[in-house]
Structure 1
Amino acid sequence: MHVNNECELSDFEKKIADRAEFSSCYRPRPVTTEKSDGNMHFNIMKHPKEALEVMNSLRRSEKLCDVTLLVGDEKFLCHKIVLASASSYFRAMFTGGMREEEMSVIPLHGIHPCTLHMLIEFTYTAEISVSEQNVCYLLPAATMFQMNHVVEACSVFLEQQLDASNCIGITDFASEHGCLDLESKAREYIYKHFSEVIKCDEFLQLSPCQLVNLIKQDELNIKCESEIFNAVIRWVNHDSEKRLCKLQGMLSAVRCHFLSPHFLEKQLKHCTVLKKTPQCLEYLSKIFQGLKLHQTCTEKPRKPCSPLVIYSAGGYLRQSLSTFECFNPQTNQWQKLSDLPTPRSGLCGCVVKGSFYAVGGRNNSSDGNLDSNSLDIYDPDLDRWQLIAPMNSKRIGVGLACINRLLFAVGGFDGKERLRSVERYDPEKDEWTVVAPMNNTRSGAGVAALEGHIYAVGGYDSSSQLQTVERYNLQADVWEFVAPMKSPRSALSVAVIGGKLYALGGYDGGDFLSTVECYDPDKDEWTDVSYMTCGRSGHGVAVGAEPLGS
């Protein structure tokens, strides 16, 4: 555009000329996104931000504003188009045929002026600062005005603040305001950290209905059902006058059949809350009697939301090892944990109430061999080992099974002879008790629990591999033979699935076996099933979910 210097320029024209001169000196390079037929398409990424900055400047100088929001005596001048772009609530108000569409002053209720100020600032700047002091006001207001980005920011903030002392309150707050993702994550936090949550004050404020709904959940991450029982008693004690009448309903949500007989007996004798409710005493007494008789439990065990891991303890590589580690299938990683107190190979392991028990074994070293009767317990919360009551006999190649929270060490080798003796360990009493011995001496036998019985399958008796199988009846304290396998096997592994027992591989005295047999306890019969891909012995097996790629 040609400018006649002899003509006097208006103020507006001077400003335009100044900007043209500036732009000729400073020309930011635009972003090119497309080129075809000689044309270039530009996408200027800074434009939306710069446009909002201009609009915000106009708002602060009260220019071109077409609506005033009124909260009490506070007035907020704004642009309808900007509010509508950030809020579905305002978009509907200004474009949906409501009477406010034609109003220039709109009163708002149920919101504090400071909160509205922050939300208006956000609509013009896309920035907001969330804190412990303002989140309880911001989230409800952002929900009311359907400002989803602010709702998301508040949810992320609260998610980062989750701890055992506030997770119940955050869950309720998220539920009240329809923040489903935050509510889900807060509930997951409660389930995962349940053992810490029940120690906090929020837990004591739960209503009876809320408490029942919580303790019914399969996903509660607990070591033992006694944690839930104790939590219920603590909740009742917090306001016993009003809550004692609710105890019977609470106990129906506790999976009392998974409490140990020793724990239940102690509660029946000493719990003052139970003594005030005869119907609860009667209910628990019947369960206690059933547990003493080792009756089969029909209740389903819980399935904690924390990931399960595979522990690996000790072993042999030129000498016995003290290495202890675990594998997390979700992360596909091994984690090194605190070493065993003493190196051992030929030991056996089991998890009871969340803790890992390492039983027996031998320390093979250059200084000589040391056979072990020790029982070490590993606490995963503290990453620490504790030496507890030792077995009555040293046992290498021992079989181990857990039933009704009791450990059974079956057979093995004490360094001199093969054993037929069996010992039972009660974690509640930290005590080993000798129970009825097997009919055969066995080391390297496959041992597993099935339908309230413990099975000892095959093994070695100092002269030959065995094909005999016997099972232990806990109520009668007696071992009885059942149908023998089709092949003798030692150093085999056994697994239980679908109410049947599987014997896999092993050594028959001449060959390493790939054969697999299945035992049906209803028919007392072994049948051959598909072979493994190769023969093996001394291997480990476990039952888990089918791999996705199978």
Structure 2
Amino acid sequence: MVLLAVMSSHCPKSGLALRSGPSWGPNWPTVKQALMRSVKKLSLRSKNITSPRVRDMEADSNQTGMPSLKRCITQGIKQLYQTQQLCDVTLVAEGRMFPCHRAILASVSLYFQRMFTSSFKESREPEILLKELSASSLQTLLVYIYTGELVFTAGQATELFTAASRLQVMPALQIISRFLRESLAMENCLEFYMLAYSHNYRPLLRTTLSYVAFHFKHLSESPAFLLLDFSALISILSSDSLAVKSELAVYRAVRCWVRHNPSERLRKLGELMAHVRLPLMTPVELAEVQGDMEEFDQPVQLCWEELRDEKRLEACGGLRQGMYHEGVVCIGLPKWSEMSLGNEALDSHVHFFDLSTEQWEQLPDLKSLTFPGCTSMGHKLYIAGGRYLDNSCSDNLFVYDALWGRWSQLPSMSTTRVWHAFHLCKNKLYAAAGWDIMGPLASAECFDLERKEWVPISDLPLSLAYFASTTFKSKLYLIGGETNMGDPDMSTPFRGFLFYDLVSEAWNQVLMAFEFYEASAIALDTCIFVVGGLSADTTHGGRQFTGRCACLLEDGTMNQEVCIPPLPISISYPGVARWHKRIYVFGGDYNDCYSSAIHYWEPGLLTWTQCGACLPDPNYGAFGFGCVELKVPQKKFISLCQTKSATSPAQ
């Protein structure tokens, strides 16, 4: 038996709900909250009682032990349900009758609200017959509406989801959906997907589709796959997130589905084949398809054969998720001791690290460019600003498309920047702070990827340097560092962080009791992890390199529930990236000696693990501003995608 309540939080380990404070907040309305709002509105309309006076009365009742208005309403509603007093409508399901109250039903259920406020005769009927709704499900929902407690077994969850969706009891629907998401497994994911699809409930639909896409090849061979609804199957086949390494796996899934009931499904084969990306197949794979189509008497149309490779890829919708290698791009920097003015041989090498195989692959270099901002989206790598070997700074914005294996230039920033924050969020690139030839910057700007233009955003409240940066919950974070507070000769540590809220479009400042200097940061799950950097300045030799790691909540406090061990090496500005639940650390700086090591850690581990691989070139180091995740197509698709030779951005 599973007990879930509005004022509860679910415990995944035990499968039970543990009572806690009001964790759902205003987005989880209950009938009590709805009636409380109504009472408050009536109070505000009264000439003799004002809103502050109502609050004072409630506070006094709590202090004296007298029941509050909220508690009276809660108990009163429950008593009305138990005694069936003042009922003005009766719900009927499977022959069972449930006396209820129109106002209470309408306050929680959109279905009943629209019914009772309409001009149709149902709004006045004393009995409402609810067809195709079980009496047990209705009773469970009524107990929830009147008491706030939702009690059901795992076996009842899908039936209850259907009932809550039909009656549009949205708080109950969200609770049941969360339970189903936490219960996802190979044996039930297709059933839950069909449930979400048939009710068009997007929170559950997104989760189940992602799960099905990741396990597509295995699920497509299961009996449950053969029972999928046609439109639901189309939704899966059209997804870019299918984890298949060959489009042949998608076609074979279609073939199995059709052959399961050929008399009904063969006529739908043509529509299904429109979602199979034939241009991604090899000649051998296409031969298998053509042979089957002759058997089905369904000729294959290969109109895309005359298209150029780039147009062919666009025509079929692009590569699937499983056709990429997931990894990290590191922009290697030459060691300080080997950098010399005008030495064009010291390009910043760009390498891709395949995280699943721990193999390196070199990408087209950045010509003599160091310390740029670096971010990515899917198979596109964006580079902004940076410094050339003659010490001049760049305002350029470049994009590397891993599909076509080439760099191209986009409109430049409004100012030159180096060592700046550069991140992508909500289809916009954000560049903030950093340096130009005059010193630290407090300006910021963003580039709209759709409109292809830069626009200024609010300036930082102070100029900042040597900070860590990341994005988290639609906010851009600049953590720690150093500020001169308007005086270029007086730099002081910044004990705090700034964040730019993309919703309010404003910077906010939060102070902390400790400082971070030349550290790197990355967000994972519900926390921000800050790794490496320099220790606080002391009277004995100044700052020291450290392996310190910290886990911060979004308000800047330390997360005491997550213990992250220190790095096994002391470095500043290491390259950091995430993959699944892991945080990877690449290289880092120790004076003018760069580390070549790669370490990873994931929550729950007591130590960092060193990878067998290291940085590909011992003369180059990875740096925090030039390390980011990227998807690169598998080699079998490169010849399809890359029709022209890769080029490097101009200097």
* TM norm. shorter chain > 0.5: no
TM-score, length basis structure 1: 0.45
With the length of structure 2 as denominator, give the TM-score of the two structures. 0.39
